[in-house]
A and B are shown apart, each in its own frame.
Chain A
Amino acid sequence: MGAGHSHKLYRHGHSPVHALPAHCKIAAVFAFVLIVVSTPREAVWAFGLYAVLLAAVTVAARLPAGFVLKRLLIEVPFVAFALLMPFVAEGPRLHVLGMSLSESGLWGAWNILAKGTLGVAASVLLAATTELRNLLLGLQRLKMPPLLVQIASFMIRYGDVITDEMRRMRIARVSRGFEARGVRHWGVLAKSAGALFIRSYERGERVHLAMVSRGYAGTVPVTDEVTADRAQWTSAAALPLAALAVCLLGWTL
Chain B
Amino acid sequence: MHVPDGFINAPVSVATGAVAAAAVAVSLRGARRELGGDGLGGERTAPLAGLVAAFIFAVQMLNFPVAAGTSGHLLGGALAAILVGPYTGVLCVSVVLLMQGVLFADGGLTALGVNITDMAITTTVVAYLLFRGLVKVLPRKRRSITVASFVSALVSVPAAALVFTLIYALGGTADVSTGKVLTAMVGVHVLIGIGEAAITALTVGAVIAVRPDLVYGARGLSKPLELKVAPVAVPAAPGAPRTEPAAAAAPAAASEAAEAEPKSPAPAAAPRSTKRVWLAGVAAALVCAGGISYYASASPDGLEKVAHDQGIDKQEKDHAAKDSPLADYSVKDITDARLSGGLAGVIGVGATLAVGSGVFFVVRRRRDTDPAVTDERTPERV
Contacts and interface: CB of A to CB of B under 8 A. Distances in A.
Interface of A: 7, 9, 26, 29-30, 33-34, 36-38, 41, 71, 74-75, 77-78, 85, 88-91, 102, 104-105, 107-109, 111-112, 114-116, 118-120, 122-124, 126-127, 132, 135, 139, 145, 147-148, 150-159, 161-163, 165-166, 180-183, 185-187, 189-198, 200-201, 203-205, 207-208, 211-212, 216-218
A203 B52 CA distance: 10
A9 B99 CA distance: 12
B176 A145 contact: no
A153 B95 CA distance: 10
Majority DSSP secondary structure for residues of A touching B? helix
Given A145-B28, A186-B64, A201-B52, A211 B74 contact: no
Nearest to B25: A145
A34 B202 CA distance: 41
A194 B64 contact: no
Interface of B: 1, 4-7, 9-10, 13, 24-25, 28, 41-55, 57-59, 61-67, 74, 83-84, 91-92, 95-96, 98-99, 101-106, 108-110, 173-177, 180, 198-199, 202-207, 209-211, 214
Contact of B211 (A122, A155, A181, A198): A198
Given A33-B5, A105-B174, A148-B24, 16 more contacts: A7-B103, A74-B106, A151-B53, A151-B92, A156-B103, A162-B57, A183-B66, A190-B199, A194-B210, A196-B58, A197-B59, A204-B47, A204-B52, A208-B43, A208-B48, A218-B43
Contact of B102 (A127, A161, A191): A127
A225 B108 CA distance: 29
Contacts of B25: 145
Majority DSSP secondary structure for residues of B touching A? helix
Q: Which of A102, A123, A180, A212 has the most CB of B within 10 A?
A: A123
A187 B108 CA distance: 34
Nearest to B103: A127
Given A116-B4, A200-B55, A37 B103 contact: no
A30 B4 CA distance: 14
Contacts of A196: 55, 58-59
B62 A150 contact: no
Contacts of B46: 147, 150-151, 154, 218
